[in-house]
Amino acid sequence: MTQPDLFALDAVVVGQPKRSKWRTYRGPALAVSTVEGTPLAEVTDLDHTHFLLTRTSGEVVFRIEKRSWVESFQQFGPVRFHFADGADREIGTAGARGLVKSRQLSLRTEQGRRLLLTRLSAASVEWRLTEADPESGDPAPEILGRVEVSTVDPWLGLQQYVVAMTPRLDASERRTFVASVVCLHLIRRPPGEGSGVA
């Protein structure tokens, strides 16, 4: 059976794979699948600042590099993520600032389109993808995608993100959107941190 194209689907699930609390986990940091559960790709944490998304076939889809001004105090300063394809060509960025960095991510696609991934409120489990208003920089009214987060394992605090995309996003913009959801998880649940979420 042919595997569905990751960036042609209207929705995908990005989540932490299940694991045992009693054994050291050595699998991928995140798994990407269809809503029905068919595996599509995996995110590997290379060194807590570089992450690799590969299809189940082993093909590299993109790399994410996390940069912050002062690594030991990164919770206070802005954080920027750079996305590169398998040939190391930059294909987009995401950035967050402020004390609650998971409130809004500013995205730039490969074609230069400016998008925002915005959380509705501090208690909300939903983020909305919109274009950035060219004059004010605020989210435009039209919703281009949604991310809904849930805890799939309360014991370990494992997170799952359902990523829904509208037809107004092309394949490269969908790629940036999925990459930004990986970044959102890295902001909310930094590697090596406890189970608290933001």
Output the domain CATH number for residue 136. Answer: 2.40.160
In a domain, 6, yes or no: no
In a domain, 195, yes or no: no
In a domain, 73, yes or no: yes
In a domain, 198, yes or no: no
Output the pLDDT for position 154: 87
Residue whose entry in the numeric block shows the structure tokens 């274009």: 131
What pTM was computed for the model? 0.90
In a domain, 4, yes or no: no
Output the pLDDT for position 138: 81
Asked if the model's pLDDT at residue 90 lies above 70, the reply is: yes
Asked if the model's pLDDT at residue 107 lies above 50, the reply is: yes
Output the pLDDT for position 171: 92
As a whole number of angstroms, the distance between CA 77 and CA 198 comes to 16
**Domain that residue 125 falls in:** 11-188
pLDDT over 70, % of the chain? 91
Structural domain total, the chain: 1
Tens of pLDDT, residues 113-142? 999 999 988 888 999 999 988 777 788 889
| Averaged pLDDT, 156-173 | 94
In a domain, 31, yes or no: yes
In a domain, 131, yes or no: yes
